[in-house]
Amino acid sequence: MLSLYRNQLKGVQKKVLLIGSGLMAEAVIDQLLKRNDNFVVVASAHVEDARKVIQNKQRCSAHHLDVTETEELRKFVQNSDIVIAYIPPQFIVGIAKICAEVGRSMITSQYTFPEIRALEQECKKKGIIILNEIGLDPGIDHLATVKVKDEVYAKGGKIIEYESWCGGVPSPEFCDNPFGYKFSWSPFAAIRNINNDAKYLENGVQKYIPASELLYSTEIIHVNPSLQMEGYPNRDSLPYQELYGLKDCQKLVRGTLRYQGHCVLMAAMKALGFASEDLIKVDREMSWFEYLLSNVRFESCSSKYLGNHHITQLANTIDQKVFTLAQLETLLTKVFNRVFSQYYYKDKSEEQQYKDAEQIVQTLKWMGVFDPKNLILNNVAHVHNFAAHLQTLMNYKQGETDLVAMQHIFKIVYPNDPRVYVKKSTMVKIGHRNGKSAMAITVGVPTAVATQLILDGVIKVTGVHMPNISEINTPLYEELKKEGIYCEEEDY
């Protein structure tokens, strides 16, 4: 296989190794193939996916590659001019180490791991760059933020507050499920993200939100006059004060955007244990109803939060051909005792709780929880079972489009001027009907453009980097603007 790979590359000037064949891969390939001197080798553990993604394309090939087979990986890297790593984060460090050893630059949209930072000196000695965090978020967010920061600082100003929000959701006309969400990237990674704690800066004080409270910690973000979303903090925002050079910031938060109502529903699913990392172990086939009944360990069979008449009303909305009213009442009592025991509901009225309860029951019905034919997976984590089930319900259908929204909000002051200026930097993109998703375009094109700039010698810096310095950001921003991928700025 590798000899065929060498033959295909014979005489080709630029050889790009793309490791991975997932949802973002095609956007990367198509962008790179705009240049006739590029040849793209797609290497993947799922070789059929790789073949599919290069179908009807010139100057590219598909190959099987198990990245845990170190020697085979090394051969692929050695026979390339540059490497793009588009695979799950647990494999990125191993690829980066081989790239540093062999002397090949590497680009990835993943966050910068400490083990990769440790390769800084080796990369400099080899004259290569490992460029991390170059996609949408992280990626375009860095470019937009550093651009505004540099302009403000050049005028002697200070940024005293900074917010960065980003999310991918279905276009409004295709938002047809209770969660208001569909998967344009890894379902498992998307669901697992709700298990992260969050840290950010508020009024100069570091704030911490445990994962158990994350989805209840939302605020309304006015992206534009026709688009209001809810946002919640994403992981640890604190390092970005130094990474962006925002030394004067009293507020600094990076967060995730979703349609309003998503977070309370997803928080309820989390309270029911669906996002747990614990392993499911059952000795027989089990329906979702049985799974939920056994997984919710709140033993009380009398409602602590909703009146019994409410429980009965909700149970009567569910088809009772399979389960009796008493069984349904027992399950719903346990469900709502668990959900409404969360701190978020401690000051909520019974009327507000009932309104949310109606939404939760509708969501469980939509998920097929009350259909005994729907079986859970065994010997997998609860979160994997949940993600796999939602993937069958929340994928994009042919002809549907997605929407990517990104917004940065800056509060700025200047010397001898008492006013506080507000600048918003916003990007909203809609995917192509029967074509690439907005998520794939806004992740894949920046990765490909950065790769090209490194190949062309425009980006010359070596070492381990993210796009937060002018030597990388300036040419990258200029090229992405030509592709229509940038944030529009507005002063208030």
Asked whether the beta carbons of 404 and 439 are under 8 A apart, the reply is yes
Angle at 447 between CA 405 and CA 99, to 5 degrees: 140
CA–CA distance, 25 with 31 (Å, rounded to integer): 10
What confidence tier does 185 reach under pLDDT thresholds 50, 70, 90?
Answer: confident
- pLDDT of 5: 45
Q: Which helix (H) or strand (E) holds 131?
A: strand 129-131
C-alpha radius of gyration, the chain, whole number: 25
- pLDDT of 2: 45
Note the pLDDT tens digit of each residue in 67-87. Answer: 999 999 999 999 999 999 999
The backbone torsions φ and ψ at residue 158, rounded to the nearest 5 degrees and listed phi first, read -130, 145
The DSSP letter of residue 424 is E
CA–CA distance, 133 with 28 (Å, rounded to integer): 15
- pLDDT of 296: 77
What is the set of active-site residues? 137
Note the pLDDT tens digit of each residue in 155-179. Answer: 999 999 999 999 999 999 999 999 9
Least confident of 191-195, 202-206, 457-461: 191-195
- pLDDT of 302: 52
Strand partners, 202: 205
Asked whether the beta carbons of 333 and 311 are under 8 A apart, the reply is yes
pLDDT above 70 as % of the chain:
96
Asked whether the beta carbons of 178 and 359 are under 8 A apart, the reply is yes
CA–CA distance, 401 with 436 (Å, rounded to integer): 9
- pLDDT of 346: 85
CA–CA distance, 89 with 66 (Å, rounded to integer): 15
> Which of 212, 428, 444, 219 minimizes the C-alpha distance to 339?
212
Note the pLDDT tens digit of each residue in 303-345. Answer: 567 888 899 999 999 988 888 999 999 899 989 989 998 888 9
Query: Rounded mean pLDDT of the chain?
Result: 93
Note the pLDDT tens digit of each residue in 449-466. Answer: 999 999 999 999 999 999
What confidence tier does 300 reach under pLDDT thresholds 50, 70, 90?
Answer: low
Least confident of 52-56, 62-66, 294-298, 437-441: 294-298
Asked whether the beta carbons of 492 and 424 are under 8 A apart, the reply is yes
Residues in the chain: 492
And the tokens for 101?
């050893």
Whole-prediction pTM value? 0.91
Per-residue pLDDT, averaged over 400-417, amounts to 97
- pLDDT of 187: 87
